[in-house]
Structure 1
Amino acid sequence: MIKKAVIPAAGWGTRFLPITKSQPKEMIPIVDTPVIQYVVEEAVASGITDILMIIGKGKRAIEEHFDRSPILEESLVAKKQFELLEKVKKISQLANIHFIWQKEMNGLGDAIRYASDHVGNEPFAVLLGDTLISGEGEPITKQLMDVYERYKSSVVALEEVPRNKVHRYGVIKGKTLEKNVMIAEDFIEKPTVEEAPSNLAIASRYIFTPEIFKYLEKTKPGKNNEIQLTDAMRDMVKRYAMYGLQFKGKRYDIGNKLDFIKTNIIYGLMNEEIGAPLRKWLKEFSGDL
């Protein structure tokens, strides 16, 4: 059973400046909860108990969010706001969460290299800290773990995207093995439409065997002069079997302002406290457009 996860959360978040000048993009809220808390909750719901976050300069707020806040807790007790107190305390009890600093922003592949000592010789999950995925029936990370248990090899989440958007993603080339499961032959990072072997994009969730670290160590800087995780995967798949799973669920990309606003509305409509009045307001507002 996979018990460890790595969450890279060191990027600058330049597309959300100026707010990310002093606040990590992973701490931007969806309704009332930071994005990265949803990601941690997904990992925990999948059976993960040990999480390593890779953070960088200006990310101290992430550490503080997952730590205890005695002064705040005492204040909530004094005000008899016990429901809020439980919400706050629960955050620090989700899992064993550790932090390590990425010294330079050299790409996703470089960030994951920092997890080598923590992971050791175990398989582990990777969840990108700025992407939400709601699984149907069970969390997407658990879906990947189930495939890993069958094949004992690395697995990546796959999402079908329009052909004209493949240049935004890493894309898989492979053969269908069973329903929604492919065995990988190659991976290409941000291909042109002509280069893309499929329109199945890697969707921010992975299960890796520890062999990935050997390939990350020898991977040269690629696109954007960064160490690309996809490049390491391309080398690794030549020797080790790797799989792709078209997951059951919905991915919410908050990497740009428009999708961030859309995601807030969707999650707001699902929120017990504000869902009904928000739906009423949207109907009224749309009538005025």
Structure 2
Amino acid sequence: MKKVTKAVIPVAGLGTRFLPATKAMPKEMLTVVDRPVVQYAVDEAREAGIEHIVFVTGRNKHVIEDHFDIQPELIETLTRAGKTAQLAVIEELQLDAGNVSFTRQQVPLGLGHAVWCARDLVGDEPFALLLPDMVSFGVQGCLATAMQLYRSTGGNVLSVEQCDPLETKSYGIVGKGEPVAEGFAITEMVEKPEPSQAPSNYYINGRYILQPEIFDLLGTQERGAGNEIQLTDAMARLARTQPFHAAPFTGRMFDTGSKAGFIEANVAMALAREDLRDLVYGPIAELVALHARGAGTPSRINRSA
């Protein structure tokens, strides 16, 4: 069994659900409390033992590359000002030289195509895939949980959670087979099935460990749902020759690609921090009470169209 040392993070999406905020700023750079969404994915990957990050980017995403680069002027300014705490944060986030790569997805053809664009940088070895919109919240990161199962089973491992059975048409859904170690065997994978056709209510929550043979399949994969190259379709083909296992995540994943999930992630992360919990808990509770009384309706100018 080969050790997983590389992770692919696709960041080429346009973020149209967050317009106008994402008109000039990549959606992955929107902040949950004080860190960009993409930083949470990188932190989670490093916690799980990943050594090399491969970003699949698109046009107007250069700020993501700048974020993970060294900024001498900032370091000099913080040093002169004696701001050691801020310096420590910057140093903690810095990726080692040579351990981060960027490649472009020139045409938005779906997640499967984005993963395929990373093939030369990943090479002939297993790799992790993290969708940055999904922010992991728990005692242990989601990818670290999947890695534990991978060390027991090898092959391909998908992190899963349970969703409302009526919401299966919003996710990639797996069929539940026999228990294996901390997870279970996957019997089938279906992209966004109607509730009546879903094999279970276990959905793939944005964390994958995949074998390199997936790249050849993605290169020949026909377009599926949404007229895009679907990763789930290629994984279903790979499952004919390789085992797939599911690692249930006991924490929670916030879908920051949706406005509701983004707000939930901010609240949860703020309440989890000792330096912020007491500062935000009271105001949040007051706002909830205000809304319950019907006095929390914003002015017309502050409401979305």
Is this a same-fold pair by TM over 0.5? yes
TM-score category of the 2 structures, normalised to the smaller one: over 0.9
1:101 and 2:104 matched: yes
Per-residue CA deviation, residues 50-69 of structure 1 (Å, 9 max, x unaligned), is: 11010111211110100011
Q: Secondary structure at the match of 2:196?
A: coil
| Structure 2 equivalent of residue 288 of structure 1 | 290
Question: Secondary structure of the equivalent of 1:117?
Answer: helix
- Aligned match for 1:190, one of 189, 192, 209: 192
Map of 1:111 onto structure 2: 114
Contact 2:135 2:265 in 1 (8 A): no
What residue number does 1:199 align with?
Answer: 201
Moved more, 21-30 or 141-150: 141-150
1:1-289 equivalent positions in 2, closer than 5 A? 1-93=3-95, 96-136=99-139, 138-178=140-180, 180-289=182-291
Give the aligned residue type for 1:192: E
Deviations 1:65-122 (A, max 9, x none): 0001111111112222121122123222368211111111110000001121111111
Residues matched between the structures, number = 288
Gaps of 5+ in 1: none
Write out per-residue CA displacement over residues 34-56 of structure 1, whole angstroms, 9 at most, x where no aligned residue.
01101100010111111101011
Greater mean deviation of Cα atoms: 279-288 or 22-31: 279-288
Deviation at 1:256, TM superposition (A): 1.2
Inter-partner Cα distance in structure 2 for 1:244 and 1:177: 9
Q: Structure 1, residues 125-156: CA drift from partner, whole Å, max 9, x if none? A: 101111111243x3221221222222220010
In 2: Cα distance, 1:206 partner to 1:283 partner: 37
1:189-209 deviations in whole A, cap 9, x for unaligned? 011111111100011000001
Displacement of 1:251: 0.8
Matching residue of 2:295: none
Question: C-alpha displacement at 1:178, in angstroms?
Answer: 3.1
Amino acid across the alignment from 2:109: N
* Paired residues of 2:152 and 2:181 also in contact (CA < 8 A): no
Decide whether aligned partners of structure 1 residues 139 and 48 sit closer, same or farther in structure 2, where only a CA change above 3 A counts. same
Distance in 1, Cα, partners of 2:50 & 2:284: 38
State the distance in 2 between where 1:241 and 1:274 align. 44
Separation of aligned partners in 2, 1:285 and 1:54: 39
Return the letter of the residue paired with 1:236: L
Q: CA offset at residue 282 of structure 1?
A: 2.1
Cα distance in structure 1, aligned partners of 2:63 and 2:186: 38
Indicate the larger mover: 213-222 or 198-207: 213-222
2:195 partner SS: coil
Aligned AA (1:97): V
Q: Deviations over 1:7-34 (max 9, x none)?
A: 1111111100111111111111000100
**Structure 2 residue identity aligned to 1:277:** L
In structure 2, distance between residues paired with 1:19 and 1:287: 28
Asked if structure 2 preserves the Cα contact closer than 8 Å seen for 1:184 and 1:244, the reply is yes
Q: Percent identity?
A: 37
**After TM superposition, which residue ranges in structure 1, 4 or more long, deviate above 6 angstroms?**
none
Q: What residue ranges of structure 2 are gaps of 5+ in the alignment?
A: 292-305
> C-alpha distance in 1, partners of 2:179/2:188?
15
Secondary structure at 2:73 match in 1 = helix
Instruction: Single out whichever of 77-86 and 43-52 deviates more from structure 2.
Output: 77-86
Q: Given the superposition, is the C-alpha separation of residues 211 and 14 from structure 1 closer, same or farther in structure 2, using an over 3 Å criterion? A: same
Q: Tell me how far 1:179 sits from its aligned partner.
A: 6.0
C-alpha distance in 1 between matches for 2:178 and 2:133: 29
